[in-house]
Chains A and B, each alone.
Chain A
């Protein structure tokens, strides 16, 4: 990339913690963030819920007015700015952009309103909430961040199914490179555990992960995996041009090395190996790297039968001849955080640059022979000198994304 873009702050909440350090330590310790919870119409399901303080950075009134995704985004944005040691009163707020990936937004509020309409209000639509529209507009989580932090630069969400967590940071990098903004708050968020419809749809599709032990409900790459566990969460990165970051003496987590996004143009839900290979290949070309240059591939691996096999074919085909490329997946620990997944999983791996460890997978009791990649980090972290990470995130309607970051080094 011509303009060097770096990550200088991370704010996150996920089922395994409310800061990047807490998340990292729990990943390395092999903990699970999945629990059984009751949800409307579905009863007990395995899911990943966050446990952050919703009103740490906003009033109770504004929390009630907004959405869970907005609350997650506000928490992550404040934490990211604090982590980056950036204070709002020192920034030109018109030069801050907020770009958040979302898989979906609005289902939670719509389901709640319809539930009340039928069960409490006898279908009297005059009692339909006037908050419905501002809560369900697609830009809601990013907009809530700007309202809360008084940011007057651009904000929008990027609807990219489960590739969205990569697309937020990619958008941030692009806007910084174009000079449209000076600081990006970019990442992904999800409130999907609040909507029964997503669970019910995965169940109807035969793709809802389940197990008597919730920590085993989603087991990407395990032979007996039975599907996805839906999670909520968010991760927002502070991103800056390298020159700006150096000028203020910022701590640099990583540099954006390259990325690519493409479309399968093939099926509503089924992934396509060929296009995934193309996506990763073009991301590496963008980064001026070859497979041997990639130290970690963090797979999308959601725990579905076909999805995991097809991605393993893609990753194995590209990195099979690269013995130093370690391969891991994160969803066995925290479930599938939908629009937040890509950003959270990248955040969970960035610690490798400093601690020299690659976190493992979680829940693999019997590795699926079709997923037996030779450099897979199965069940315990391994030591490695990590300087590059390729993060895969794919989504429905055939959207693929690969984001490559590298350890910051002066040239």
Chain B
């Protein structure tokens, strides 16, 4: 998958989790938690959905790499290619 496709895949997950919020105008460089009402359970939901939808494991020590959309794409793109 290209970086753009990975971004779309992550954004689709975030949209399903944030539900009540509009995710179309997110700044890729800013922390997701600064732009959306997300808590620790939501990030666990993101991790779970990555596993369910794309069979990607995110170990606990890497959770911080899901902080922004850009860091998600940077971290996950190689995993999508595996």
Q: Which residues of A contact B (CB under 8 A)?
A: 59-61, 64-65, 126-127, 129-131
C-alpha gap A126/B45 in the complex (Å): 13
7 A-B pairs with CB atoms under 8 Å apart are A59-B19, A60-B19, A61-B18, A61-B19, A61-B42, A127-B51, A130-B41
Inter-subunit contact B41/A65 (CB<8 Å): yes
Chain B residues with Cβ below 8 Å from A65 are 41
Chain B residues with Cβ below 8 Å from A127 are 48, 51-52
Closest CB-CB distance, A133 to chain B, in whole Å? 11
Question: In B16-30, which residues have CB < 8 Å from any A CB?
Answer: 17-20
Inter-subunit contact A129/B48 (CB<8 Å): yes
Instruction: Using known A-B contacts A127-B51, A127-B52, A130-B48, determine if residue A60 contacts B41 with beta carbons closer than 8 Å.
Output: no
Contact partner of B17 among A61, A126, A130, CB < 8 A? A61
Chain A residues with Cβ below 8 Å from B45 are 130
Chain B residues with Cβ below 8 Å from A60 are 19-20
Closest CB-CB distance, B13 to chain A, in whole Å? 13
Chain A residues with Cβ below 8 Å from B41 are 65, 130-131
Is B1's CB within 8 Å of the partner chain A? no
Is B12's CB within 8 Å of the partner chain A? no
C-alpha gap A126/B48 in the complex (Å): 9
Inter-subunit contact B20/A59 (CB<8 Å): yes
Closest A-chain residue to B40, C-beta based? A130
C-alpha gap A59/B17 in the complex (Å): 12
Closest A-chain residue to B16, C-beta based? A64
C-alpha gap A351/B52 in the complex (Å): 51
**How many residues of chain B have a CB within 8 Å of chain A?**
11
Chain B residues with Cβ below 8 Å from A131 are 41
Chain B residues with Cβ below 8 Å from A126 are 51
Chain A residues with Cβ below 8 Å from B17 are 61
| Residue interface bits B27-59, CB-to-A below 8 A is 1, else 0 | 000000000000001101100100110000000
Closest CB-CB distance, B56 to chain A, in whole Å? 12
Closest CB-CB distance, B12 to chain A, in whole Å? 16
Chain B residues with Cβ below 8 Å from A61 are 17-20, 42
Closest CB-CB distance, B3 to chain A, in whole Å? 27
Closest CB-CB distance, A56 to chain B, in whole Å? 13
Chain A residues with Cβ below 8 Å from B20 are 59-61
C-alpha gap A19/B15 in the complex (Å): 34
C-alpha gap A126/B51 in the complex (Å): 9
Closest CB-CB distance, A136 to chain B, in whole Å? 15
C-alpha gap A127/B44 in the complex (Å): 11
Closest CB-CB distance, B67 to chain A, in whole Å? 19
C-alpha gap A225/B50 in the complex (Å): 51
Closest CB-CB distance, A248 to chain B, in whole Å? 34
C-alpha gap A190/B44 in the complex (Å): 28
C-alpha gap A130/B48 in the complex (Å): 9
Chain A residues with Cβ below 8 Å from B19 are 59-61, 64
Closest B-chain residue to A58, C-beta based? B20
Closest CB-CB distance, B17 to chain A, in whole Å? 7
C-alpha gap A222/B36 in the complex (Å): 57
Closest B-chain residue to A124, C-beta based? B51
C-alpha gap A64/B20 in the complex (Å): 11
C-alpha gap A65/B41 in the complex (Å): 9
Closest CB-CB distance, A124 to chain B, in whole Å? 9
Closest CB-CB distance, A63 to chain B, in whole Å? 9
Closest CB-CB distance, B16 to chain A, in whole Å? 9
Given contacts A127-B48, A130-B41, 8 further A-B contacts (CB under 8 A): A59-B20, A60-B20, A61-B19, A64-B19, A129-B48, A130-B45, A130-B48, A131-B41
Closest A-chain residue to B52, C-beta based? A127
Instruction: Using known A-B contacts A61-B17, A61-B18, determine if residue A130 contacts B44 with beta carbons closer than 8 Å.
Output: yes
Closest CB-CB distance, A92 to chain B, in whole Å? 26
Chain B residues with Cβ below 8 Å from A64 are 19
C-alpha gap A64/B19 in the complex (Å): 9
Closest A-chain residue to B51, C-beta based? A127
Closest B-chain residue to A60, C-beta based? B19
